[in-house]
Amino acid sequence: MPPRTTIRKEEWEQRLREVQISKDDLNRLIMDYLVIEGYKSAAEEFSGEANVPPPVDFESIESRMVIREALQRGDIEEAIARMNDLNPEILDTNPALYFHLQQQKLIEFIRQGRIMEALQFAQDELAPRGEESPEFLAELERTMALLAFDSSSSVPPTISELLSPAQRLKTAGEVNAAILESLSQGKEVKLVQLLKLLCWGEGMLAERADFPKVDLEEGLTRMGRKEGTTDDSRMRE
């Protein structure tokens, strides 16, 4: 095995300074972040100041965020209605997404203690889809298992997560990705993709050399990657 190389901090920083990155590329990365994270006002302002055309219509950003907020508060009917207003083909061409929205609606019935409505809804809307797909059936059975417990505190951890805010966020994330895809826009912020690539590159280099590493956790924190916080007010923090 060849000897390990040690790269001093000064030398490493000098190499980084020598990397040429165009301002246009940086501006496009910023615009990509603002659009995907849903900062409509900031994206509009940045587009004018940096002369960067947005990859999508600004109004679609607001519509997407309204849909996400509806899902995060458990208003599935409003979310579906607004999705159909935005683009009805999204649900028509994505049966898995539609099932997960209906599953989330069933979860909300159970969360609210509307048991008879939950049973009727499961029978009318979800059971037929479960018969068509073993995957859907397994998810339906797991959701219906919530009805076997008197209180949320007695629900086993394997299914109690369905009642957690994280489940709403998961559904909202799936919907957000589907809308972005319908707009021919990437599903994940390119800056996050670059950080993942950086992490992979550092791992490969660390096998052969010692060098100053980038604090990726701090980088993600600075980007404000906290689930459920997508309004423009976060940009002013």
Q: How far apart are the first and last CA of the chain?
A: 49
Q: What percent of the chain lies above the pLDDT cut of 90? A: 42
Within 13 Å, how many C-alpha atoms sit on residue 104's CB side?
29
Identify the residue with better confidence: 13 or 103.
103
pLDDT at 217: 62
Chain position carrying tokens 């994206």: 43
pLDDT at 1: 63
Where along the chain do its domains lie? 12-222
Q: Considering only 57-66, 142-151, 212-221, which range has the smallest mean pLDDT? A: 212-221
pLDDT at 39: 87
- How open is the CA angle 146-149-152, to the nearest 5 degrees? 80
pLDDT at 167: 95
Task: Taking the CA atoms of 179, 181, 185 and 191 in sequence, report the sign of the dihedral they define.
Answer: positive
pLDDT at 75: 96
pLDDT at 193: 84
User: CA-to-CA distance for 28 and 190, rounded, in angstroms?
Assistant: 10
pLDDT at 158: 82
pLDDT at 153: 66
Q: Considering only 113-117, 172-176, 215-219, which range has the smallest mean pLDDT? A: 215-219
149 pLDDT more than 50 = yes
Residue 5 sits at φ, ψ, to 5 deg, of: -100, 140
**β-strand partners of 210:** 6
Identify the residue with better confidence: 219 or 72.
72
Interval 89-110: pLDDT, tens: 999 999 999 999 999 999 999 9
- SS3 (DSSP) at 51: coil
pLDDT at 91: 93
Structure tokens at 37: 């994270």
Q: What is the mean pLDDT of residues 115-142?
A: 91
Encode 61-130 in three state secondary structure: HHHHHHHHHHHHCCCHHHHHHHHHHHCCHHHHCCHHHHHHHHHHHHHHHHHCCCHHHHHHHHHHHHHHHH
Within 13 Å, how many C-alpha atoms sit on residue 34's CB side?
25
227 pLDDT more than 50 = no
Distances in Å between the alpha carbon of 34 and those of 50, 134, 196, 223? 13, 38, 19, 11
User: CA-to-CA distance for 166 and 4, rounded, in angstroms?
Assistant: 44
- State the average pLDDT for the chain: 85
2 pLDDT more than 80 = no
170 pLDDT more than 70 = yes
Cβ(91)–Cβ(80) under 8 Å? yes
Chain position carrying tokens 């993709």: 193
Band the pLDDT of 229: cuts 50, 70, 90. Answer: very low
Q: Which fold has domain 12-222?
A: 1.25.40
pLDDT at 121: 95
